[in-house]
Amino acid sequence: MADTKVDCRQSKDFHLDEEGANRKPRKRRRLRVIIPAYPAFNVYSRIARTTTALGPVSVATAVHEMEGWDVEVIDENNYQRSAPRNESGLPDHETLQKIRPADIVGFYGGLSSTILRVYDLARFYKERGVPTLAGGQHFIEENIAEALHNGIDVVVRGEAEETIKELLYAFEGRFPREDIKGIAYLNNDQVIQTQERELLTDFDHLPLPDFSLVRYARIRIFPVGRVRGCGMDCEFCTVKGKPRYATPERLLAQITSLYEIFEAKHFFIVDDLFGQDRLETLRFCRLLQNYQIGIKKQFELTVQIRLDKAKDMEMLQAMRDAGIDVVAIGFESPIPEELKAMDKHLKPEDMISLSRVFYQAGFLIHGMFIFGYPFEKDVPLRIPAQERVRHFRRFIKQAKIDTVQVLLPVPIPGTKLTQRLKQENRLFTRENIGWEYYDGNFPLFVPDEPMTPEDMQDSIKVIMGRFYRFRHMFQVGLKILSFPVVILYLHDLRRGWWKWYRGWRNNIRRFGGWIILRGWLAKLRRDNFFDKLDEAKRKLSQASRPGLRA
C-alpha cells in the first residue's frame, strides 16, 4: 500500500503511523502552569495563601479548551490541602511529575522577586526533558536573554491567551515556531524575537477564568478583572498603554459564576484604575447590586481606585450599593517633591481631604505608599529619614487610613525610574543584590542625601512597626466588650454597627500585620543582606560616584 501523506496541521484527533495505517487516538498531553514561590518569608505571604493570580489562570483556561490537552495550575504560594512537599517545605515537583507528568511547563514571571525560583524550576524540568515556557511583566529587555540562558526555552512577550495555543501546536509539530507572534527563543545562542502580537480588544470571546484548574489551593479571595492597560504612565510602573475594557456583563459573569460554583463572596477587582470608564462602571455596579438582591446575599469587593474619584458622589454610592467596601489607593507619598518626581499632580492637603471623603462614605481604606522616592537631579532638597518618617506617620493618621503598605522604590525592569537610576549610576548591581530582593522591602539603589540605604529600610520598619502593633490584640478584646455601645445608635443602627465593626476589624488587621512584620524581621536577621549591601556600596564607590553615602 502506498504511503499516505497528511497535513499534520489539520489533524486533531488522530495521527498516522509511518505506514499510514492503524489510526490511533492521540495521546493526551498536559501543561503545568507554575506560579513561583516568594523567596523565604515575605510580607505578602499571608494574603497569598488566600488568593491566586488571575493571569496564569486565564492562560490555563485558554488551554483547557484545546482538544487533547489537560492543564493544571500550581500556585506555590497557595499550596495546601494534601499537596506533596519536599524536605524544605516547598512543592515537591519530583513527586508531581510522578503523579501527573507534565509534557510542557509554563512559568508566571509577574514578580521579579520570584524569578530565581522560576530559573531553579526551569532547570529542574529541563533536566528531565520537559520543554519550558515563561511569561509575565518581568520578561522585557535584557531579562529575556537572561531567562533563555537559565532554563527557559521560549519567553512569551505580552498577553498569552492566543500565543500559548500556537506554542502548543508548535510543540505538537503542527505550527512553525518562527511564525508565532510575541515570543522569543534562542537559535544558535542568538536571541530571536518574533513580531509583536496585537493586543486583545475583544475579551468576550475568551472563556471565563476557570479556578478549578488551580490544584491544592484554598482560594477565599477570587481575583476578577475587566480592564487591561493603564494610561497614567507612572515612572515606576510597568502597566502601560491605553486601557482596554471588557463589557460590564463579562465582569459580572466572572463574579456570578464564582459564586454559583464555589459559593465565593470575596472578590478583588485587579483593574489598576476602577471607575475610569465611568458610565460602564456605574452600569456594572447596578448589575452587581441587582444580582445580590436577587440571590439575597451580600458580596465583599476590593478595588484599586484613583483618589480623585472621591469627587464623584454618584460613583461612591453605586460602589457601596454593589458591595465594594475596601478601596486600595496609591497615595505614594505625602511629600510634595516626591509627588512631583512621580508626576503626581495632587497636594498632600488635598489628598487628605479626598481620603476623608472615602472614609465618610463608609469605605475601608488601604493606603499604598512608596518611601524614599528619588528626586530628580535638579531638586536641591535634603530631607533626613526621620523627617520623612514624621511626614508619613502624620499623613496616615490625618487621612483616616485603615491599613497601610509602605514599600521602598523598586527599579522594575523596563520602567523610566530604572533608566533614570542607571543613568545616574545609583543602582546596585544584581551580582550583589539579586532579584530575590526586588519586592519593595530592600534598598536597591543609593538614595538622596542625606539618607543611606540602611536609613531607607529602617524607616519603613518604623512606619509599619508603629502602625501594626502587638497592643491591638488587647484592643480586639476591648472592642468585643464595647459592643453593647451600639445600642446608643438606635436612631441609626447601621451607622453604629459600621463604626464598631470598623474599629474591631482594624484592630484584628493591625495585630495580624504585627505578626507578619515580626516574621519578616526574623527572616531579615537570618539573611546576609547587609553583607551584600556593603559589597554593593563598595563596588559603586570604586566607580567613583560623587556623593556616595556609606
Q: For 227-266, what is each residue's pLDDT tens digit?
A: 998 877 778 887 777 889 999 999 999 999 999 999 999 9
Q: What's the pLDDT band for 524 if we cut at 50, 70, 90? A: confident
CA distance 343 to 337: 10
Q: Is the peptide bond before 450 cis (omega within 30 degrees of 0)?
A: yes
**Higher model confidence: residue 373 or residue 21?**
373
- Cell numbers for 366, please give them: 488601604
Residue ranges covered by each domain of the chain: 29-193, 219-428+439-468
186 Cβ contact partners less than 8 Å away, ≥ 6 residues apart: 148, 149, 192
Q: For 455-485, what is each residue's pLDDT tens digit?
A: 999 999 999 999 998 877 766 666 566 656 5
515 Cβ contact partners less than 8 Å away, ≥ 6 residues apart: none
Opening angle at CA 249, ends 204 and 60, nearest 5: 45
CA distance 444 to 434: 9
**Mean of per-residue pLDDT scores for the chain:** 89
Q: For 354-369, what is each residue's pLDDT tens digit?
A: 999 999 999 999 999 9
For residue 25, how many other CB atoms are within 10 A of its CB? 9
Amino acid, res. 441? N
For residue 82, how many other CB atoms are within 10 A of its CB? 5
**Higher model confidence: residue 413 or residue 129?**
129
The distance between the two most distant Cα atoms of the chain, rounded to a whole number of Å, is: 94
CATH architecture of the domain with range 29-193: 3-Layer(aba) Sandwich (3.40)
In percent, the amount of the chain with pLDDT more than 70 equals: 89
What per-residue confidence (pLDDT) applies to 499? 75
What per-residue confidence (pLDDT) applies to 508? 86
Nearest partner of 448 among 531, 539, 547, 544, judged by Cα: 547
Nearest partner of 217 among 29, 35, 439, judged by Cα: 35
Nearest partner of 258 among 303, 228, 201, 214, judged by Cα: 214
Q: For 180-239, what is each residue's pLDDT tens digit?
A: 999 999 999 999 999 999 999 999 999 999 999 999 999 999 999 999 988 777 788 877
Q: For 393-443, what is each residue's pLDDT tens digit?
A: 999 999 999 999 999 999 988 888 999 999 999 999 999 999 999 999 999
Question: For the domain bounded by 219-428+439-468, which CATH number is listed?
Answer: 3.80.30.20
> Average pLDDT for residues 146-154, to the nearest whole number?
98
Q: What's the pLDDT band for 496 if we cut at 50, 70, 90? A: low
- H or E segment to which residue 34 belongs: strand 29-35
Nearest partner of 158 among 240, 277, 76, 237, judged by Cα: 240
What per-residue confidence (pLDDT) applies to 13? 32
Q: What is the 3-state secondary structure (H, E, C) of 244-304?
A: EECCHHHHHHHHHHHHHHHCCCEEEECCCCCCCCHHHHHHHHHHHHHHHHHHCCCCEEEEE
CA distance 545 to 115: 30
- H or E segment to which residue 18 belongs: none
CA distance 239 to 415: 9
CA distance 404 to 390: 15
CA distance 246 to 201: 8
CA distance 305 to 309: 7
482 Cβ contact partners less than 8 Å away, ≥ 6 residues apart: 500
Q: What Å distances lie between residue 64 and 103, 143, 168, 170, 208, CA to CA?
A: 14, 29, 12, 17, 11
What per-residue confidence (pLDDT) applies to 484? 60
Of 5-14, 281-290, 326-335, 531-540, which range is least confident? 5-14
Chain centroid, CA 527 distance in Å:
24
Question: What is the number of H-type helices and E-type strands within the chain?
Answer: 17, 18
Nearest partner of 536 among 411, 433, 413, 449, judged by Cα: 433
Residue 270 has pLDDT above 70, yes or no: yes
CA distance 212 to 217: 9
- Kindly report each contact of residues 252-256 with a partner whose C-beta sits within 8 Å and lies 24 or more positions away, as own/partner: 252/284, 252/287, 252/288, 252/291, 253/208, 254/208, 254/209, 254/224, 254/225, 255/224, 255/288, 255/291, 255/299, 256/291
pTM: 0.90
Going by DSSP bridges, is the β-strand pair 132-135/183-187 parallel, antiparallel, or unpaired?
Answer: unpaired
Residue 143 has pLDDT above 60, yes or no: yes
Q: What's the pLDDT band for 156 if we cut at 50, 70, 90? A: very high
330 Cβ contact partners less than 8 Å away, ≥ 6 residues apart: 304, 307, 368
Opening angle at CA 547, ends 546 and 550, nearest 5: 120
Residue 536 has pLDDT above 60, yes or no: yes
